[in-house]
Structure 1
Amino acid sequence: MKKTFTPAAAAIILALQPLPALAHPHIFAEARLEVVADAGKITEVRNVWRFDDVFSSSVLLDFDKNTNLKLDPDELKEIADTIRTSTGDYDYFTFITDNGNPVKLAVPEVFNVDFKDNQLLVFFVVKPQTAVPLKGKLSFGIYDPTFYTSIDFAKDGDLATEGDGFGACKRQVIRPDPDAVMAQNQNMMTEAFFNNPGGSDMGKLFATRLEVSC
């Protein structure tokens, strides 16, 4: 049977697709990111996303199949499955670099959603395919490469570390200046970029990130 997507499901998927002339966000979320280490190695990254009221309301309207004005467990599961599938091609919007090298991520085992105070909440855990040693310079962040969804952190404390091994490391939250990023990357600001922002890695340059140096 052919899968039919509701408007909200389509919006979730569209948020992850390279769209013409859409190099600015249409969906907004605040995030919390916790980097967890054990025995001197990064073992997992925990993510919490809280979406804006407008997008959250559209999700409620489209996934509330029994029209009881709330999202029941089966409806929440459908949303979770849709987001996990849609973000899979984009590493779940989560990036980790190990001394400048991208770290490959495993498929999340834990992926849940909830709806509280009229906002959609997404909770999930990603793990490196291979545990990453706490050595050298590591970077952690969240970004949508298509620029359709803006996911950011309200305060620096929303990028946190937990577990053994961080005591000897220096931690710093980096919030890039968009004007400076654009000025330094003028050669990438082409018509092709604005027509297909997902075709470049520019989004990572704008993303708030946690840098850990050990």
Structure 2
Amino acid sequence: MRHLLTSLLVLSLLIALASPASAHPDIAVTTRLLFDMQGGTVVRLLESWTFDRYRSAALMRAFDADRDGQLSDGEGAALLDGILPDLAAKDYFTAVTSAGEPVALDRRIMIEARAENGIVSLAFALPLTGAAHPDAAHPLSVMLSDPSYVMAFRPAEGHALQLRGDDGDCRFSTEDRPADRYFGGLVVPRATVLICR
């Protein structure tokens, strides 16, 4: 019976990720983004997503088998097995461009699920398939958005953007992307832009 209930909850989450919302997002996600650099090249993105309390509670009811308020390795693996295929099919809601041209993400990722005080977070790395040298002529842009408006992404307060391996010559900026507006034009996503000298 428990397996059936778990399967139904995972199915409902996948349906929510795949179906348009009628009026407002069903899932609020607080994000952090790290650009991992080697020799002036961005080689991967590291993202952290923290789900809102209501979605976290639903996930914990389904996957915290021992009800200790944490996700063991096995419980976290079961959660990921349930949601990763759909997230991968949507490229993790992450669009990367260099000088306006799409940069593909490698499907081979590192990912973990954890819970603290009942709040569920995912942390994962998305390798870039090609070299990205974010200079002034080729700014690197990362945008998290869900055009179905089921998931609403917002950056964490303080240290939401970080660099690793930077030599001190890079800077971030954020900008609205009105050309990518969705939900009847009401939602204008924001992109993070990285430029290095």
Give the TM interval when normalised to the shorter protein: 0.7 to 0.9
Distance in 2 separating the partners of 1:170 and 1:48: 20
Compare the two structures and name the one with the higher strand fraction. 2
CA positional deviation for 1:129: 1.1
CA positional deviation for 1:154: 2.9
109 and 154 in structure 1: CA distance in 2 versus 1, 3 angstrom threshold: closer
Distance in 1 separating the partners of 2:156 and 2:188: 15
Q: Determine the structure 2 residue equivalent to 1:139.
A: 141
Contact 1:84 1:111 in 2 (8 A): no
Contact 1:31 1:50 in 2 (8 A): yes
Q: Determine the structure 2 residue equivalent to 1:45.
A: 45
With structure 2 as the length reference, what TM-score do the two structures score? 0.82
Compare the two structures and name the one with the higher helix fraction. 1
Q: How does 1:107-126 map to 2 (within 5 A)?
A: 107-126=107-126
1:153 aligns with 2:155: yes
Q: Give the ranges of 4+ consecutive aligned residues of structure 1 lying more than 6 Å apart after TM superposition.
A: none
With structure 1 as the length reference, what TM-score do the two structures score? 0.76
Q: How does 1:84-123 map to 2 (within 5 A)?
A: 84-123=84-123
Task: Give structure 1 stretches of 5+ with no counterpart.
Answer: 195-201
Q: How does 1:22-33 map to 2 (within 5 A)?
A: 22=22, 24-33=24-33
Q: Encode CA deviations 1:149-180: one digit per residue, 9 max, x unaligned.
A: 1121033630222213560x442123x39xxx
Q: Please identify, of 155-164 and 135-144, the stretch whose mean Cα deviation from structure 2 is larger.
A: 155-164
CA positional deviation for 1:207: 2.5
Q: How does 1:1-214 map to 2 (within 5 A)?
A: 6-19=7-20, 22=22, 24-66=24-66, 70-135=70-135, 136-155=138-157, 157-164=159-166, 167=169, 169-174=170-175, 176=176, 181=178, 206-214=188-196
Specify which structure has the bigger relative contact order, considering alpha-carbon pairs within 8 angstroms and separated by 6 or more residues.
Answer: 1
Question: How many corresponding residue pairs?
Answer: 191
Q: Please identify, of 134-143 and 83-92, the stretch whose mean Cα deviation from structure 2 is larger.
A: 134-143
C-alpha RMSD of matched pairs (Å): 2.9
Contact 1:7 1:62 in 2 (8 A): no
Write the letter of the residue equivalent to 1:29: V
CA positional deviation for 1:123: 0.6
Write the letter of the residue equivalent to 2:126: V
Contact 1:37 1:165 in 2 (8 A): no
